A and B are shown apart, each in its own frame.
Chain A
Amino acid sequence: MSSRASYWKANLRLVTVCLTIWFLVSFVFGILLAEPLNAIRIGGYKLGFWFAQQGSIYTFVILIFCYAWRVNKLDQQYGVHED
C-alpha cells in the first residue's frame, strides 16, 4: 500500500476517535443523558446542564488542538508534510 493511502487510513482513524469524543460530550452527556447526569452536581451546576452549557465547549477546544498536534505528526511520519 502506498504511503498516501496508509496516511489517509491513519487520519481517518484519528478523526473517528476525535468525533466519538465530540459526540459523547455534546449529544450524549449534554442532551440524551442530561437528565440522569443532572442527579450529580458540581457546586451549583447540575452535571448534564454543565456539559450542555460549559463542558462540551471546553472539550471542543482541547479536541481541535489535540487533533492538529496528532495529524501534524502523521504528516511527518508518512512524509506527506508541506515543504
Chain B
Amino acid sequence: MDLQTLTYIVVGATFALYIGIAIWARARTTGDFYVAGKGVPPVLNGMATAADWMSAASFISMAGLIAFYGYGGSVFLMGWTGGYVLLAMLLAPYLRKYGKYTVPEFIGDRYYGQSARILAVICLIIASVTYVIGQMKGIGVAFSRFLETDYDTGLYIGMGIVFIYAVMGGMKGITYTQIAQYCVLIFAYTVPAVFISMHLTGNPIPQIGLGSKMADGSGLYLLDKLDATLKDLGFGEYTTKERLSTLNMFVYTMSLMIGTAGLPHVIMRFFTVPKVKDARASAGWALVFIALLYTVAPAVGAMARMNLMDTIQPAPGEWLKVDERPSWFRNWEKTGLLKFEDKNGDGRIQYVADPEKNEMVKVDRDIMVLANPEIAKLPNWVIALVVAGGLAAALSTAAGLLLAIASAISHDLLKGVFAPNISEKSELLASRIAMALAIAAAGYLGLHPPDFAAGTVALAFGLAASSIFPALMMGIFSKTMNKAGAMAGMLAGIGVTLFYVFQHKGIFFVADWKYLESWGTNWFLGIEPNAFGAIGAVVNFAVAFIVAKVTAPPPEHIQHMVEDIRVPMGAEAAAAAH
C-alpha cells in the first residue's frame, strides 16, 4: 500500500477514536466542562497531563531543534521537565487545597479584588495564545506533509479540525481522549526511535543507543562520529556546542522551568484530582510519562542528524546528486519547508556551515521528526504512525489551551466580573465563541510564526514565567504579599518581557511592527528573547517585594486563608463547597 493511503487510514482511525471518546463523554454541565468533576485518579491524570503537556513543540519540533543545536538543545529537555519539580513542590498541592476552578480565581481571591483577577486573565490569554501559535505551526507542518500541499493550506485545514475538536468536548471528554492520545503519541515516538537505534548501534533502547558504539564496525561511538562529521563541515561539535552562551542557556532553562509551573492549562490539571496527596503524586506520574518521551528525544535528534548528514554526504567529499534526491526530499520540497539551490552548478548538493557555500538553503527544523523515519528508510506504516502521533500531540495541547482561554474569558471575566447572573447555557456559549476567536487569531499569526514551533512555545513560557508563576508562588509562600505588590509585580514582569520579545519579533509577532531595531538583537547580556522570561520573573519578584514593603499589609482574613492552604487538612470541605 502506498504511503499516502496508509497515512489516511492510520490518521483516520486515531481521529475516529478520539472523536468517539469525546462524543461518548460529551460535557453536559459547566462543572464537567472545566474539571471533570474532580474524580480522576493520579496515574490516569498524570497520563492525561502528559498528553496535554507534550505538544507539537515536544513531539514534532523539539528533537529537530536538538538535532541542529546539539548540546544547546538541552535547554528544552531540562526546562520542560524540571518545571514539574517546581510544580509538585511549590504550587500544585496548595492550589488543589484551595479548590477552585481556575488560576485567575485564585489570584483574584488571594489578592482580594477583581483588578488582580482581570490582570491575571490578561497575562494568561497572552501566554496561551502565543502557545497556540506554536501548535498551529506544528499542525501546519504535519498537515502539509500528510496532504502533500503547501504549509499555508495545511494550516487552514488544521485550524478547522482543531475547532471541531476543542468545541465538541470539554475537559471530561478531553481527559479520556487524552489518555488515548498519550498512548498513540508515545508509541509513535518510540517505535521509529527503537528501529533507528537498533539500525545505527545495534541497541534497541534509544537512551542507551545514543551512548553506544556504531554498528558499522568502525568502533567509533555514535556521538564521537557525529562530533567529528559536524566539526569537519564547520557546524561545531554536537556534544559541546552551546546555545549562544552559558548564561543564555542558564536563563533559557530557568525560564522554561518556571514557565512550566506558571502555565494555566497545566495547573488546571491538578484541580481535577480527588485529594491534595493526589496532586503531588499526579505531578510525579505526569513527569514519568513525559520523561519517557524526553529521554528518547535526544537520541532521535542525534540520530536524525546523523542520518541526514549521511544521506547528503554518503561518503567523505562525495555529495548527493541533485537527480538522485530521495523521495522524502522531493515530498518535503512541495511543502516549501525544505529547499536547496545548486549554487556552484555541479549537480550535487553541498551541505556545510558556511552560508556562501551551503546549498541546503532551507531546512525547517520542524520537519526533522516527521521526516526522520523516511530518511532512515523505515517501513511506510511507521511513517504513517509518526504523522498520527504528531497530530495527536498538537491537537491535544491546542484543545487544552483553548479550554484554558475559554474558561478565562467566560468563567473569570464574564461570570466573575461583568455578568455574574449569566446562565450556564450562555456561559458555555461564550466559552465556545472565545475558543473560535482564539483559533482564528492563533492560526492567522501561525502563517508567519515568530520562531520554530518549540521556539514559539518557549516565548509563551517566558510570558507565563514572568507573570503568573511569581504571583502564585508569593501568594502561597508569603503571608505579607499584598494586592498592590502582586499587581505591580505582574505588570512589571510581563511588561519588560513583552517589551524585549516584541522589540525582537514585532508587536504581537507581526514582523513589520518591530521597534528600536537600532538596539540590535540579544542586547541584554546576550540573552535571546525566548529566554527572557526568567529575567522578567526576577523583575516581578523584586518589584512586588518593594511595593509590598511600602503599602498596607493584606487584611487578616487573607493571612488566614494563606495559613489554611498550606495544610492538606480540610481539603474535602473546600472541594465540596462547589
Name A residues whose Cβ lies closer than 8 Å to a Cβ of B: 4, 7-8, 11, 15, 18-19, 22, 26-27, 30-32, 34-35, 38, 42-46, 49-50, 52-54, 56-58, 60-61, 63-65, 67-68, 71-72, 75, 79-83
Contacts and interface: CB of A to CB of B under 8 A. Distances in A.
Interface string B78-93: 1001101110111001
Interface string B433-476: 00000000000000000000000000000000000000000000
B249 A45 contact: no
A26 B84 CA distance: 13
Which interface class (under 10, 10 to 19, 20 to 34, 35 or more) fits B? 35 or more
Nearest to A56: B78
B255 interface: no
Interface in B538-569: 563, 566-569
Interface in B275-305: 275-277, 280-281, 283-284, 287-288, 291, 294-295, 298
Interface stretch (B152-160, B209-217, B323-331): B209-217
B253 A31 contact: yes
23 contacts: A4-B563, A4-B566, A22-B86, A27-B253, A27-B254, A43-B212, A44-B212, A45-B210, A49-B71, A49-B240, A52-B74, A52-B78, A54-B298, A56-B81, A57-B77, A57-B291, A64-B85, A64-B287, A67-B89, A67-B280, A68-B284, A72-B280, A82-B277
A60 B81 contact: yes
B253 A4 contact: no
B572 A53 contact: no
B223 A44 contact: yes
A71 B566 CA distance: 12
Given A26-B78, A64-B280, A18 B294 contact: no
Nearest to B78: A26
A54 B89 contact: no
Contact of A60 (B213, B222, B291, B568): B291
A83 B249 contact: no
Contacts of B277: 68, 72, 75, 81-82
Given A15-B90, A58-B295, A60-B291, A30 B74 contact: yes
A32 B246 contact: yes
B569 A81 contact: yes
B207 interface: yes
A63 to B, nearest CB: 6
